[in-house]
Structure 1
Amino acid sequence: MKRIGRWGMTALALTLMTAACGSTTPDAGEDSTPIRRAPTPDNEFTPAELEAVLDNLVAEINKSSSRPMQITVLLKDATGFWAPVVRAANRALGELGATGNVIGPVAQTDDVDEAERLQNRQISQTVEDGAEGLGLAPFNDIQTAAVDEAVAKGVHVVTLDTDVASSKRSLFVGTLDKAAGAAAGKTLLAMLPPAPGTVIIHGNVDQAWSNGMERTQGARDVFEAAGYEVLVRQSTWDDGGETEDIAWMKAELEAAEPPVVGMIGLFDISYRCAMAADAAGKPDIPIVAFDFDPKTVDYMRQGRIKATHTQRQYYQGYLVPYILHGIKNIGLDATREILAPQMVDDVRVNTGLDVVPADKIDAYNDFLDSLEVDSLEASQ
């Protein structure tokens, strides 16, 4: 997810999804209602590997009586980037017959520290309310103690989007930033002339933002291994940041030696690369982007940005309740074994990226529509 400094919407208990079949535990010897997933429309962007993992997990759970479960999914926000997560998590809760809810921030604040403290209190309240499983999009390691306390009380915890690696959570589900940066780098690499040459990365060099650093390093490694020089511009969302970004990249486009042969943006403001290339009078330099911001899409339709890379936040929200249900019903080890094709180690499930070429914008919008996801939501 992009780096943000505001959590704006009060969204407590956004949607309560309770199914009759999930309200009581089946009697001994009584068959529970099998889990049935809603069909996923077939589309060229449908992640077949994720769909197969989900189907295999459901099949294994359905081999025995599935016990109902109370699940809470606790997010940093409920709008923009998070809206598809809300929709998908609620859909999964309904299919599972789970008692539970999806919760956004409980208060409006510009104070990052206060937002983190509020989430810690939400975690504690979730445990008190009887949740057996918690899907958590944390702020950072400040959630470690709250997560560990929940686990100590028997609550299974799966993180999404951002991890609390220092905690006792069971698994993490989301985009692995270093792999994402490398994937985007390979997309651009295929468009470049042979080295030598310089590549500009509109990325992150701020060590306080480890996710941004990892994504940038993943891309940088690809280009340096291929023999290119790399220049990194620190992305900023502050007032005046766009003007400063364009000026810096324009100057490098005009003066870099060896000359700039390609540009890549790694966050939602990737379109600034195209603005800088236009300002430097170099519209033919290949550019690839990240996320689905309307400005990025406009430059793609003009042929100025060749491709973009989008996170699968819908699948993050959809996977987490199913994983929590699996941990309760078949155990963590068995759940992990089924998830293995998507895991990079014992604790991290990689949901991957969608690579969207400029000539596939409409097809990708059709895919989002099939998931009932608005393209403006996916862009943020």
Structure 2
Amino acid sequence: MSKLSIMAYSVGTLLFLVSCSFAIFYGYKVLTHDPPPDKKTVETYHYHFVLVPEELDNEYWRLVEKGAEEAAKKFGVMLEYAGPKQANIDEHLKTIEMSAASKVDGIITQGLSDEQFTPLINKVIGNGIPVITIDTDAQASKRIAYIGTDNYYSGYLAGRALVADTLGNANVAIITGSFYATNQIQRVKGFQDAVKFEKRIRIITVQESGISRVKAAEKAYQILQDHPEVNAFYGTSALDGIGIAQVVEKSQMEDKVYIIGFDTLPETISYIRQGIIKATVVQQPYEMGYGAVKMMVSLMEGKKVSPIVHTKTEIMRIGDLPLPPTDRKQVSQ
């Protein structure tokens, strides 16, 4: 036998042995291992809704989302939470347009400026997709319903709280999240109306924070530089009061400046406990989210819904807070 024939024979034998080894190995795996698990059953949903917030990563809107998600689970809804990362009206409108184009069953969104918002919502409604506004209404549009705070009333409550909590002259600076957002405009207007007949109270300036605690802090610092007579602040968005408090605390003016803010974010509660923020307007974002999804399901089922549902609004001060765990009296063993 030639060397070439011997080499070919050896290679063939080697390949045969390798093939057998693989066959034995995989046969062993089949015999000794559990079969792959069945694919998870795909959940079925009755409806597909989209919740479009003012900005995705805002802690307040995360509470709205949480309530909406709980309702979605209960009522068999696929819920998407989509919108601008930071407040941006163009991105907000684009999200609504894309949601409508994808033929979702319903859209839940914060109301925006009438000039841009109304034509789009009317178009969406005209194409057979119901729209519910949440947190901020858009009454000029054909939206089906609104659920959320009465923002004028909440501003009025804030103004009356300042009147009740202060003595002597109060020179007030207002820091608002936006000069253009309807809810912010209404909160400022309500506050102004609440104090306009109080001769000892003057509104010195109104500044815009862009719904940013950093910008709110910058505005508060500049106000105190430009208007040293200011001894009271009103913040109309969840982050404004926090930004103001940071500046007041750093300036060691806690006993000289009155602050009333909005919402009950953990930092706000902490500042209330420290006596830096004196009061805050309490909204119900979780209830808004839950109620909006429940309301939309009712529409899908052909039921009538109330065109306006105002969630509860109230003032919270340090005396309204529960005692922290370390301050509670121990229960007798």
TM-score (norm 1): 0.61
Whether 1:95 aligns to 2:74 is yes
Q: Distance in 2 between matches of 1:283 and 1:204?
A: 23
Asked if the contact 1:309/1:355 (under 8 Å) is kept, the reply is yes
- 2:240 aligned residue: 269
Of 179, 197, 203 in structure 1, the residue corresponding to residue 175 of structure 2 is 203
Q: Deviations over 1:241-284 (max 9, x none)?
A: 524422313553x446xxx4x43322222144443487385614
Aligned with 1:270: secondary structure? helix
Given residue 269 of structure 1, which amino acid in structure 2 is its aligned partner? D
Give matches, 1:282-293, under 5 Å: 283-293=255-265
Asked if the contact 1:286/1:306 (under 8 Å) is kept, the reply is yes
Asked if the contact 1:284/1:304 (under 8 Å) is kept, the reply is no
- 2:93 aligned residue: 116
Given residue 232 of structure 1, which amino acid in structure 2 is its aligned partner? T
Whether 1:181 aligns to 2:155 is yes
Give matches, 1:1-380, under 5 Å: 18=44, 70-76=47-53, 77-79=55-57, 80-96=59-75, 98=76, 100-105=77-82, 112-127=89-104, 131=105, 133-137=106-110, 139-141=112-114, 142-193=116-167, 197-204=169-176, 207-227=179-199, 228-237=201-210, 242-249=217-224, 251-252=226-227, 254-255=228-229, 260=231, 262-267=232-237, 268-274=239-245, 275-276=247-248, 279=251, 281=253, 283-329=255-301, 331-332=303-304, 335-336=305-306, 347-362=307-322
Asked if the contact 1:249/1:276 (under 8 Å) is kept, the reply is no
Structure 1: runs of 5+ lacking an equivalent: 1-15, 20-68, 337-346, 366-380
Asked if the contact 2:172/2:204 (under 8 Å) is kept, the reply is yes
Given residue 51 of structure 2, which amino acid in structure 1 is its aligned partner? L
The CA deviation at 1:189 is 1.6
Query: Alignment length, in residue pairs?
Result: 276
Q: Distance in 1 between matches of 2:252 and 2:176?
A: 22
Asked if the contact 1:199/1:223 (under 8 Å) is kept, the reply is no
Asked if the contact 2:52/2:83 (under 8 Å) is kept, the reply is no
Given residue 158 of structure 2, which amino acid in structure 1 is its aligned partner? A
Q: Distance in 1 between matches of 2:68 and 2:56?
A: 12
Q: Distance in 2 between matches of 1:162 and 1:92?
A: 20
- 1:339 aligned residue: none
Asked if the contact 1:198/1:229 (under 8 Å) is kept, the reply is yes
Aligned with 2:196: secondary structure? helix
TM-score (norm 2): 0.68
Asked if the contact 1:123/1:150 (under 8 Å) is kept, the reply is yes
Given residue 266 of structure 1, which amino acid in structure 2 is its aligned partner? T
Gap change, CA 1:113 and 1:185, over 3 Å in 2: same
**Please, which moves more after superposition, 71-80 or 164-173?**
71-80
Q: Distance in 2 between matches of 1:186 and 1:236?
A: 23
Asked if the contact 1:72/1:103 (under 8 Å) is kept, the reply is yes
- 1:54 aligned residue: none
Q: Distance in 2 between matches of 1:73 and 1:119?
A: 9
The CA deviation at 1:88 is 1.5
- 1:25 aligned residue: none
- 2:3 aligned residue: none
Aligned with 2:262: secondary structure? coil
Q: Deviations over 1:52-105 (max 9, x none)?
A: xxxxxxxxxxxxxxxxx5251322355432222222122223333x3x322122
Gap change, CA 1:305 and 1:172, over 3 Å in 2: same
The CA deviation at 1:171 is 0.9
**Whose RCO is larger (CA < 8 A, sep 6+)?**
1
Given residue 192 of structure 2, which amino acid in structure 1 is its aligned partner? R
Asked if the contact 2:173/2:234 (under 8 Å) is kept, the reply is yes
Q: Distance in 2 between matches of 1:248 and 1:255?
A: 10
**Please, which moves more after superposition, 281-290 or 356-365?**
356-365
Asked if the contact 2:241/2:259 (under 8 Å) is kept, the reply is no
Aligned with 1:289: secondary structure? strand
